[in-house]
Amino acid sequence: MADRITLNEDHGKLLDKNDVETVFRILSRHLPGKSHSAKGPKGQRTPFQSAIACLLSAQSRDANTAKAAEALFDIAETPAAMLRLHDEDIREAIRPAGLYNMKTKRIRAFCETLLDEFEGTVPRTRKELMRLPGIGRKCADIVMHFVFDEATIAVDTHVNRVCHRTGLAQGRTADKTAENLMERAPDWALDEGHFWLIQHGKRTCTSRAPNCRDCPIDAQCLARHAG
């Protein structure tokens, strides 16, 4: 496989474009991808609630994020209503998601920025979304994909791990990996690529004990075959 490896001083070892295409083709055949029931981040009803739920999800289990989001939106559903709440009310509502002091400050700053700079409407572009406090590259990509149906691949822990191991993409941070992945992934894979990679990371390419023996992309994986 050595003759099919690209060396890049910024990103390290990478699969060539043909192997990237092959990896996505194989994953698309072996994994279910985007389910028909897939909704916005954490199943929220509006772009505002989706973005806030994504903010809450940082270092929080999905079940705890859902509890926190439900409790918060029971007492305020809009940025203006959120700003009328006392900090203690927000903290108590979002307590299940953890880091509630920091997240309370970010929620308030998010709502203020959304009203001051975007007239209360959640923007559609990555650059504008990332101007909102608490919204990094991953959350921006999730909101873009789930809420606004934009073709993009959000890079979480699982996706980042799969990309680095296989050589699909590399980067010193998850954000840099996301940039590199978007440059290298074929256009046809952008709609469901996030789902294939996260499913592969959870089912096969796990953190501690990857099941390489049954991996459908074993033949392409740099971690397995590059010297």
- Indicate which residues carry an active-site annotation: 138, 156
How many CA atoms lie within 13 Å of 127's alpha carbon, on the beta-carbon side? 0
**31 in helix, strand or coil?**
coil
- Between the two ends of the chain, the Cα-to-Cα distance in Å is 9
Quick one: which of 160, 153, 165, 156 has its CA closest to 211?
A: 165
Q: Kindly report the length of the chain.
A: 227
Q: Is the dihedral of CA 128, 129, 134, 138 positive or negative?
A: negative
Report in angstroms the alpha-carbon separations of 97 from 10, 38, 60, 81. Answer: 35, 22, 5, 21
Confirm if 41 and 142 have CB atoms less than 8 A apart.
yes
Question: Distance (Å, rounded) from C-alpha 34 to C-alpha 39?
Answer: 10
Backbone angles phi, psi at 146, to 5 degrees: -75, -40
